[in-house]
Amino acid sequence: MALSVFTRVPLSNGLQIPILGLGTSCNGGYSHEAILHALNKCGVRHIDTAKRYGCEEQLGKAIKESEVPRSDIWLTNKLWPGDYGYEAAKKACLDSCSRMGVDYFDLYLMHWPESQQHGRSNREVRAETWRALQELNDQGVCHAIGVSNFLVPHLEQLKEDCSVVPHVNQVEYHVYQQPRQLVEYCRKEGIMFQGYCPLAKGQTLGDPTVLKLAEKYGRTPAQICIRWSIQKGIVTTPKSTKIERVRENCDVFGFQLEDLDMEELNQLHDGRHVSWDPTNVE
């Protein structure tokens, strides 16, 4: 399949999520111009944010200002653990909708597998929170629901405790962090795997293998890493507040990495995390 910025891949509920998106974050600030450029000049139709990032209101204004129809944009938001629990989760989701000036989210994720509720097990709180997300899904407030930073044991417990399997699991993913067992598990269970930090917060950009391939293909190191990720079928959301970087990160469709080069990048895995590591969360 030829990939483009408009390529969408199917979730288990039949919805189609754009394979490339734009991440937003509290790290590095917020850029109104970068969001508008991504939507109006680069054709980006997938925006990923979270309550924790603190930019919901600005992002909502940028989406309106872009004049791209809301129905054309895939908007993901995330529920912070401080809002876990049945009633709190529902309220937090509706409050996020209100701050962003939207009626629904295309995708709503539990941000982290660990709860902040003392005296209760993480498993119990996750299941209770997930039931709230299932109801929001049934009510159309969230068109798809999922999790972020969940590992196989967390997903297995959710499967045992609840009736709906997450549509998406969003996890750190780059050439140094390739959780192959988790990717395989998600594919087997019909959970779309989405990767964040595709550039490992810049650590990949000076890697000798990446630099060699950038020269071979006449591309930048960032483009090699993002292309590798989407070419593996991973929904990928690089983030930047700089317009030229946003443009660069979206320009990954005019070439294809050869199989041997894909394999060389696969061999760079060393297990390092540049973001949160959920390994010890029960």
Instruction: Say which of 53, 84, 173, 176 is annotated catalytic.
Output: 53
Are the CB atoms for 59 and 109 separated by under 8 Å?
no
Active site residue 53: yes
Are the CB atoms for 139 and 131 separated by under 8 Å?
no
Q: Which residues contact 108 (CB under 8 A, 6 or more apart)?
A: 76, 77, 78, 79, 93, 133, 136, 141, 142, 144, 145, 146
The kind and range of the H/E element at 195 are: strand 192-196
Distance separating alpha carbons of residues 115 and 112, to the nearest angstrom: 8
Q: Is 223 helix (H, G, I), strand (E, B) or coil?
A: helix
Catalytic residue numbers read 53
